[in-house]
Protein backbone atom coordinates (compact mmCIF):
# COMPACT_ATOMS: atom_id res chain seq x y z
CA UNK A 1 0.00 0.00 0.00
CA UNK A 2 1.36 3.41 -0.92
CA UNK A 3 1.44 6.22 1.59
CA UNK A 4 1.43 9.96 1.26
CA UNK A 5 4.88 11.43 1.89
CA UNK A 6 4.54 14.88 0.40
CA UNK A 7 1.53 17.01 -0.38
CA UNK A 8 1.72 19.88 -2.80
CA UNK A 9 -1.10 22.25 -3.50
CA UNK A 10 -1.29 24.19 -6.71
CA UNK A 11 -4.16 26.47 -7.53
CA UNK A 12 -5.54 28.09 -10.63
CA UNK A 13 -8.64 30.26 -11.02
CA UNK A 14 -10.60 27.31 -12.32
CA UNK A 15 -9.54 24.47 -10.03
CA UNK A 16 -7.56 23.32 -7.06
CA UNK A 17 -5.08 20.57 -7.79
CA UNK A 18 -3.86 18.29 -5.03
CA UNK A 19 -0.93 16.02 -5.80
CA UNK A 20 0.39 13.35 -3.50
CA UNK A 21 3.82 11.87 -3.99
CA UNK A 22 3.70 8.23 -3.02
CA UNK A 23 6.13 5.72 -1.57
CA UNK A 24 6.01 2.03 -0.79
CA UNK A 25 5.49 2.48 2.98
CA UNK A 26 2.20 1.58 4.63
CA UNK A 27 -0.16 4.37 5.69
CA UNK A 28 -0.67 4.87 9.37
CA UNK A 29 -3.08 7.22 11.17
CA UNK A 30 -0.27 9.61 12.24
CA UNK A 31 0.89 9.87 8.60
CA UNK A 32 -2.64 10.58 7.41
CA UNK A 33 -3.15 13.12 10.19
CA UNK A 34 0.11 14.85 9.23
CA UNK A 35 -0.87 14.85 5.55
CA UNK A 36 -4.28 16.31 6.35
CA UNK A 37 -2.67 18.96 8.56
CA UNK A 38 -0.36 19.94 5.71
CA UNK A 39 -3.33 20.27 3.34
CA UNK A 40 -5.11 22.49 5.87
CA UNK A 41 -2.06 24.70 6.32
CA UNK A 42 -1.55 25.08 2.58
CA UNK A 43 -5.19 26.02 2.03
CA UNK A 44 -5.14 28.56 4.86
CA UNK A 45 -1.79 29.86 3.61
CA UNK A 46 -3.32 30.80 0.28
CA UNK A 47 -5.82 33.16 1.91
CA UNK A 48 -5.03 36.85 1.69
CA UNK A 49 -6.67 40.19 1.02
CA UNK A 50 -10.29 40.87 1.67
CA UNK A 51 -12.11 38.56 -0.76
CA UNK A 52 -10.91 34.93 -1.11
CA UNK A 53 -11.37 33.36 -4.53
CA UNK A 54 -14.35 31.05 -4.93
CA UNK A 55 -12.26 27.99 -5.86
CA UNK A 56 -10.30 28.35 -2.63
CA UNK A 57 -13.46 28.66 -0.52
CA UNK A 58 -14.83 25.52 -2.22
CA UNK A 59 -11.65 23.58 -1.50
CA UNK A 60 -11.74 24.72 2.11
CA UNK A 61 -15.39 23.67 2.46
CA UNK A 62 -14.42 20.21 1.17
CA UNK A 63 -11.51 20.01 3.60
CA UNK A 64 -13.00 21.49 6.77
CA UNK A 65 -16.64 20.59 6.17
CA UNK A 66 -19.35 22.82 4.75
CA UNK A 67 -21.02 23.48 8.12
CA UNK A 68 -17.78 24.46 9.87
CA UNK A 69 -16.77 26.62 6.93
CA UNK A 70 -20.16 28.36 6.81
CA UNK A 71 -20.10 28.99 10.57
CA UNK A 72 -16.53 30.32 10.43
CA UNK A 73 -17.34 32.72 7.59
CA UNK A 74 -20.49 33.80 9.40
CA UNK A 75 -18.45 34.68 12.52
CA UNK A 76 -16.12 36.75 10.34
CA UNK A 77 -19.04 38.49 8.61
CA UNK A 78 -20.59 39.29 12.00
CA UNK A 79 -17.22 40.75 13.12
CA UNK A 80 -17.46 38.37 16.07
CA UNK A 81 -13.69 37.83 16.45
CA UNK A 82 -11.67 39.99 18.82
CA UNK A 83 -7.94 39.73 19.32
CA UNK A 84 -6.97 40.64 22.89
CA UNK A 85 -3.35 41.79 23.18
CA UNK A 86 -1.59 42.47 26.49
CA UNK A 87 1.50 44.65 27.05
CA UNK A 88 3.56 41.50 27.67
CA UNK A 89 2.68 40.26 24.18
CA UNK A 90 0.21 37.58 25.17
CA UNK A 91 -2.61 37.12 22.68
CA UNK A 92 -6.03 35.55 23.21
CA UNK A 93 -8.96 35.57 20.82
CA UNK A 94 -12.61 35.88 21.71
CA UNK A 95 -15.05 34.42 19.21
CA UNK A 96 -18.73 35.24 19.55
CA UNK A 97 -21.04 32.32 19.02
CA UNK A 98 -24.46 32.56 17.40
CA UNK A 99 -26.17 32.36 20.79
CA UNK A 100 -24.22 35.29 22.16
CA UNK A 101 -21.68 33.27 24.14
CA UNK A 102 -18.04 34.35 23.86
CA UNK A 103 -15.48 31.55 23.47
CA UNK A 104 -11.82 31.93 24.43
CA UNK A 105 -9.69 30.69 21.56
CA UNK A 106 -5.97 30.04 21.26
CA UNK A 107 -5.49 29.10 17.58
CA UNK A 108 -1.73 28.48 17.78
CA UNK A 109 -2.42 25.81 20.40
CA UNK A 110 -5.57 24.67 18.57
CA UNK A 111 -7.58 25.27 21.76
CA UNK A 112 -11.13 26.52 22.15
CA UNK A 113 -13.40 26.36 25.16
CA UNK A 114 -16.40 25.23 23.09
CA UNK A 115 -18.04 21.82 23.38
CA UNK A 116 -16.90 20.79 19.88
CA UNK A 117 -13.29 21.12 21.01
CA UNK A 118 -13.87 18.76 23.91
CA UNK A 119 -16.07 16.26 22.09
CA UNK A 120 -14.61 16.27 18.56
CA UNK A 121 -11.15 17.84 18.40
CA UNK A 122 -9.71 16.07 21.44
CA UNK A 123 -11.06 12.77 20.12
CA UNK A 124 -9.44 13.40 16.70
CA UNK A 125 -12.83 13.36 14.97
CA UNK A 126 -12.03 16.76 13.48
CA UNK A 127 -8.88 18.86 13.37
CA UNK A 128 -10.37 22.09 14.73
CA UNK A 129 -13.66 23.61 15.79
CA UNK A 130 -15.48 26.30 13.80
CA UNK A 131 -14.23 29.01 16.18
CA UNK A 132 -10.57 28.13 15.60
CA UNK A 133 -11.22 27.87 11.87
CA UNK A 134 -12.83 31.33 11.95
CA UNK A 135 -9.79 32.82 13.71
CA UNK A 136 -7.32 31.13 11.35
CA UNK A 137 -9.22 32.41 8.31
CA UNK A 138 -9.71 35.90 9.76
CA UNK A 139 -5.99 36.18 10.61
CA UNK A 140 -5.28 36.03 6.89
CA UNK A 141 -8.01 38.37 5.66
CA UNK A 142 -7.88 42.14 5.71
CA UNK A 143 -10.18 43.53 8.40
CA UNK A 144 -11.30 40.13 9.68
CA UNK A 145 -10.40 40.76 13.32
CA UNK A 146 -11.06 43.57 15.79
CA UNK A 147 -8.03 44.18 18.00
CA UNK A 148 -8.27 45.33 21.61
CA UNK A 149 -5.38 46.10 23.94
CA UNK A 150 -5.91 44.96 27.53
CA UNK A 151 -3.70 44.93 30.63
CA UNK A 152 -2.00 41.72 31.68
CA UNK A 153 -4.26 41.66 34.76
CA UNK A 154 -7.41 41.94 32.63
CA UNK A 155 -6.22 39.21 30.29
CA UNK A 156 -5.54 37.04 33.33
CA UNK A 157 -9.05 37.69 34.64
CA UNK A 158 -10.53 36.66 31.30
CA UNK A 159 -8.54 33.42 31.34
CA UNK A 160 -9.20 32.61 35.02
CA UNK A 161 -12.42 30.63 34.38
CA UNK A 162 -10.41 28.26 32.19
CA UNK A 163 -8.00 27.51 35.02
CA UNK A 164 -10.56 26.79 37.75
CA UNK A 165 -12.01 23.28 37.59
CA UNK A 166 -15.76 23.08 37.18
CA UNK A 167 -16.99 20.96 40.10
CA UNK A 168 -20.67 21.68 39.52
CA UNK A 169 -21.54 18.36 37.90
Residues 114, 15: Cα–Cα separation, whole Å: 34
pLDDT at 20 over 60: no
pLDDT-above-70 percentage for the chain: 69
Task: Report the predicted TM-score, pTM, of the whole model to 2 decimal places.
Answer: 0.71
Beta strand spans in 62-112 (E): 81-85, 91-96, 102-106, 111-112
Chain segment 25-44, per-residue pLDDT in tens: 444 455 656 666 677 777 77
Residues 43, 52: Cα–Cα separation, whole Å: 11
Chain segment 117-165, per-residue pLDDT in tens: 889 888 888 888 999 999 998 888 867 799 999 999 999 888 887 776 6
- State the average pLDDT for the chain: 75
Query: At a CB cut-off of 8 Å and minimum separation 6, what does 87 contact?
Result: 149, 151, 152
Amino acid sequence: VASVNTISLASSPSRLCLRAVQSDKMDSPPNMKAAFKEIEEQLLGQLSGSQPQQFLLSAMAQTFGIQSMYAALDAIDRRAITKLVSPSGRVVYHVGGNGGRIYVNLPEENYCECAAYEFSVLKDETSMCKHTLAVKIAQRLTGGICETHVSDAELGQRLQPLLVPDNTY
